[in-house]
Amino acid sequence: MEWSVSTTSFAVSSSPLMAWLYVLSVFLHVLAAMFWIGGMMFLGLVVVPVLRGHPERARLVEQLGRVFERAGVVALGVLLVTGIANLAFRGVTTLEQLWATPIGRMGLLKLALFGIVVAMGLWHNRVVGRQAVQLLQRAPRSDEAERLRRLSSWVGRWMLLASVLLALVGVLIARGVWVW
């Protein structure tokens, strides 16, 4: 069997075991990306609208957020580990190669976006989202509760956008398209 990929050459093409490990790493990476992005879309587009007007909305949103956060941390951990492994399988094994090669620079872009996603996730879950839920339980009709609800909703949307960009950059890397 031929293990090399003609359009995107990668460093492990000589060994079948390494080639399979590379395939496994990309597979787990895509699976985790599906869960992370799909989960956020499901929460934002299905769960939150369904709960609008529900008397227990704040409590349910808080519970759903807490459970999704736990699974999301695992998904993001898998994405980081398999993402770094993907880069290594593609020949980026030193910090210097992150700057010096086109694929390395794309990886760097992904790492920067990943940092933004994690920072926004922490802000969303630990700061604004938590304050919004607490206030929606204590004073659901207050202007401040509505302001915090809107703010956490916007942080969530930007986090989703950054995650979708991460997926796009990944698809570009996989097809050998370098943007910088």
Contacting residues toward ligand HEM, per CB under 6 A = 26, 29-30, 33, 36-37, 79-80, 83-84, 86-87, 90, 107, 110-111, 114, 117, 163, 166-167, 170-171, 173-174
Shorter beta-carbon distance to ligand HEM: residue 148 or 160? 160
Secondary structure class of 141 (helix, strand, coil): coil
Q: How far apart are CA 21 and CA 160, in angstroms?
A: 29
- Residue 35 structure tokens: 């869960």
Shorter beta-carbon distance to ligand HEM: residue 86 or 152? 86
Shorter beta-carbon distance to ligand HEM: residue 36 or 68? 36
Q: How far apart are CA 28 and CA 89, in angstroms?
A: 14
CB 114 within 8 A of CB 79: yes
Task: State the nearest-atom distance from the C-beta of 144 to ligand HEM, in Å.
Answer: 31
Token pair 């985790």 is at which residue? 32
Shorter beta-carbon distance to ligand HEM: residue 32 or 135? 32
Task: State the nearest-atom distance from the C-beta of 15 to ligand HEM, in Å.
Answer: 16
Torsional class of 5: left (φ above 0), alpha (ψ -120 to 50), beta (otherwise): beta
Shorter beta-carbon distance to ligand HEM: residue 75 or 135? 75
Q: Which of 98-111 are b and which e, b meaning 16 or more Cβ less than 10 Å from the residue's Cβ?
A: beebebbbbbbbbb
Task: State the nearest-atom distance from the C-beta of 53 to ligand HEM, in Å.
Answer: 32
Task: State the nearest-atom distance from the C-beta of 54 to ligand HEM, in Å.
Answer: 30
CB 40 within 8 A of CB 152: no
Task: State the nearest-atom distance from the C-beta of 67 to ligand HEM, in Å.
Answer: 19
CB 180 within 8 A of CB 109: yes
